[in-house]
Amino acid sequence: MKPILILKTGELPRRVFDNLGPYERAFLNIVGEEPFVVVDAQTDELPASDWAGVIITGSPASTYDNEAWIARSEDFLRRAADRSIPLYGVCFGHQLLAQTFGGTVEKCRHGWELGTVRLTLTNEGKSDPLFSDLPEAFTAHMSHGDVVTALPPGAVSLAHNEHSPYQSFRLGDTIWGTQFHPEFTPTIVSNLIYSLADRLPPESFPRWNACIDPLRGWLLSSVREAPEAQRCLENFVQIVKERQSL
């Protein structure tokens, strides 16, 4: 099997790094070491090899930042799509795929979504191979302040909640995005909350009632296991393997 590329688009905060190691470890801990190759989109040259598939990670950056590495990544993803290489974007990667192919990414009017949340599959999501064997409603880990506000032409929504109607989408037969993080664990999310709760202004969390709970405690109270969401990462790898066997 040809290698699957993990396109790393950023690093997690120091507290997470000290516990986990480099961000790619979150993915490799789930899917194993082989046949994966990690390339840093910000610092490495993007290779033109014929990958079996590409996974685009999350990032503290915003897709609409005027950064040369983001433009290079978009060009790389367009070329990969032209070759029908399966693409799966997570959080920033989800937003980057949407933006690359004609969608819109903006600051979310509902503020940040941080912790473990509940999602519901759309009718299209219920039959999509990325969500194979998942229930209609499931839990997933989140950490984002931007959202996709318009899908690319031809894309369909696969999952939603009250925070966003586009928590996942598919474009064609080979491009998927999930706003949630299938690679995260409760430990990673808890360490993210410890890292971010004091940095983000209170208005980032309009649903938080400051009179009831401290912000950090309120966010930590949401954290729980999310095994169904993790399955999306495993399902994508299976999709890639099946395509390679054809």
Known catalytic residues are 91, 181, 183
Distance CA 186, CA 244 (A): 33
- Between CA 186 and CA 200 the distance in angstroms is 20
Query: How far is Cα 131 from Cα 165, in angstroms, rounded to an integer?
Result: 17
Rg (CA), the chain: 17
Helices (H), the chain: 14-20, 24-31, 68-82, 92-100, 123-126, 186-196, 215-220, 227-245
Tell me the DSSP string of 133-151. Answer: T--SEEEEEEEESEEEEEP
Burial (CB count <10 Å: 0-12, 13-18, 19+), residue 222: middle
How far lies 171's CA from each of 31, 94, 101, in Å? 24, 11, 9
Report the DSSP pairing between strands 4-8 and 53-56.
parallel
Q: Are 53 and 35 in contact (CB under 8 A)?
A: no
Give the integer Cα–Cα distance in Å for 192 and 200. 12
